[in-house]
Structure 1
Amino acid sequence: MRRALLAAALLLAPAFAPTAAQAKVNLAEAPIGRTDLPWWNARWHATLVEKAAHPNARLVWLGDSITYYWQRQGGHGYDDIKPVWDKYYGPYDALDFGFIGDTTASLIWRLDHGQVAGLHLKLAIILIGANNFGRVHWDAAMTVPGIESVVANTQKRLPGAHILLLGVLPCIRGPWVDAQTIATNADLAKHYEGNEGVTFVDLRHLFIKDGKVDASLFVDPHLTPPEPALHPDREGMTMIAQAIAPIVKKYEN
């Protein structure tokens, strides 16, 4: 019986083995939608409605939950971030297209399916990559091409917009994530150095104190139960807005 089962397994194995082409696919730069998740699907349609309501928008943020947190009004001061958005981006009739849990692959899917279609923007700010180092566990070697694909896709769909690419922000999720974050940002800085259409900015220094990530600048440690520092709080987001304000101002008209 064992021999029969083994023979059957060997016969079936080739049918399930990936082809050489499939084995080389980098999922971090492949369009992967999340429309099977009801809440994500609802968010997707909400952003399309929001886009239609702001035909004169001059600026868009594209990203994951960190970008989504611009709209947070938690009522505790540290997590009342929406007023910071209103101050720095309200004058631009800006759009916030941040999706909780999105990887580079999900953002590519959104771009492919009309996320910014019909818009005539001056500036697109991209902050993506943190979730690549999470559950899907895509390292820097996968993530860098994924972010580059996001940038190229955005340029194709918004040919008149300058791209402000922010480096993956530091967090407190372990040594492996730290290493991938640093490696990713170093590669992106090198790749976009001197690029006239893309400005790359690494904001890691804003969140470092005494050589370590400053947990006091994040919302997550305040939660019940506390979670690893990942999402900047009101002060952290204000620091981000202030740091990139000179670049944003260049594209206000």
Structure 2
Amino acid sequence: MLNPIRVALTTLLFLARVATAQLSTGNPATNPVPRTESWWVARHHDKLTEAQLGNVDLLFVGDSITQNYEKPGPAPNEVFLPIWQTYFAPHRAMNLGFSGDETAHVLWRLQNGEVQGLNPKNIVLLIGTNNTGRGQTAPQVTEGIIACVEELHRLMPAAKILLLNILPTAITELKSSKDATINTNIDAHYASSPYVRTLDLAHLFLKNGVVDPTLFYDPELQPSRAPLHPNTAGQRRMAEAVSHALYPTP
């Protein structure tokens, strides 16, 4: 049985951290801040427990596109767990994707125990699309992504970081333009880094130079939405490319 006093103290501590984070000023993409949704708090605590088990060689960090690897369905568009089990689970992988997260949320999670004690060989980071989707500028988000990368490196200096470019979407031209600028900025920033390499996966999701909606599940939702989240076929393409980048075969 849960100790009610301990639960109350844990809740108060969490809320205090929220209040402290919300006092921060400046670039919203680089100010670590948690979220207060119950599922998010519960997932954070679950990941703290999982991190204590250790034995992680491959770490994924990101938003819903990363968290989706845990979903077994519904079929046919969101069957992602078998993809994870095929390409990444054999490498002792851990999933730190949280749906809806921005760079600020990733920073808070990293600074509040989610990777404590971990020593992975490789880290895959995909973050930023929610930042631009909510109005942040390309310079702000560029700084936010760099902050996430540097925090990962600070906490796990032996790991090699594979930084994925923000994936193409068909939400607005403004968002797509900002995402393209961010990707260019990030590629240039880490062009000669000894611990980071970037990977552009855009070509996997384009047809004749435009986003292929058949590789995303959002258009199949009710009501239909603009392409943002890869479907089963799109996620498999991405996983194959990431796996090849991490573990190239002759």
What TM-score range do you get, normalising by the shorter chain?
0.7 to 0.9
Measure the CA separation in 2 of the matches of 1:224 and 1:93.
Answer: 36
| 2:25/2:31 contact within 8 Å kept | no
Aligned residue for 2:65, secondary structure, equals helix
Once the 2 structures are TM-superposed, how far is the Cα of residue 99 of structure 1 from its aligned partner?
Answer: 0.5
Counterpart position of 1:58: 57
Structure 2 letter corresponding to 1:44: H
User: What CA deviation, in whole Å up to 9, does each residue of 1:34-57 have, x standing for no partner?
Assistant: 1x221210111111122233x111
Per the TM alignment, residue 147 of structure 1 is displaced from its structure 2 partner at its CA by 0.2
Q: Could you tell me the TM-score, scaled by structure 2's length?
A: 0.87
Equivalence for 1:93 = 92
Larger radius of gyration between Structure 1 and Structure 2 = 1
Q: Distance in 1 between matches of 2:122 and 2:30?
A: 22
The amino acid of 1:60's aligned partner reads L
Tell me the equivalent position of 2:167.
169
User: Amino acid of the residue matched to residue 161 of structure 2?
Assistant: I
User: Residue 27 in 1 paired to residue 28 in 2?
Assistant: yes
Specify the alignment match of 1:119 in structure 2.
Answer: 118
What aligned pairs does 1:1-253 form with structure 2 within 5 A after superposition? 25-34=26-35, 36-53=36-53, 55-135=54-134, 137-249=135-247
SS of corresponding position for 2:29:
helix
- Mapped partners of 2:90, 2:163: distance in 1: 21
Percent identity reads 36
Distance (whole Å) between structure 1 residues aligned to residue 128 and residue 102 of structure 2: 6
Q: Given the two structures, how large is their TM-score scaled by the length of structure 1?
A: 0.86
SS in 2 for 1:27: coil
Deviation of the 1:24 alpha carbon: 7.5
Aligned length: 226
**Partner Cα separation in structure 2 for residue 244 and residue 190 of structure 1:** 20
> CA separation in 1, counterparts of 2:41 and 2:118?
21
* Amino acid across the alignment from 2:223: P
Residue 31 of structure 1 aligns to which amino acid in structure 2? P
Which piece of structure 1 moves more, 216-225 or 147-156?
216-225
- TM-superposition CA deviations, 1:191-246 (whole Å, max 9, x none): 11121210111111111111210111011111111122111111111111111223
Unaligned regions of 5+ residues in structure 2, if any?
Answer: 1-22
Unaligned runs of 5+ in 1: 1-21
Output the CA distance in 1 between the equivalents of 2:114 and 2:167: 24
Distance in 2 of aligned mates of 1:57 and 1:24 = 35
Letter in 2 for 1:205: H
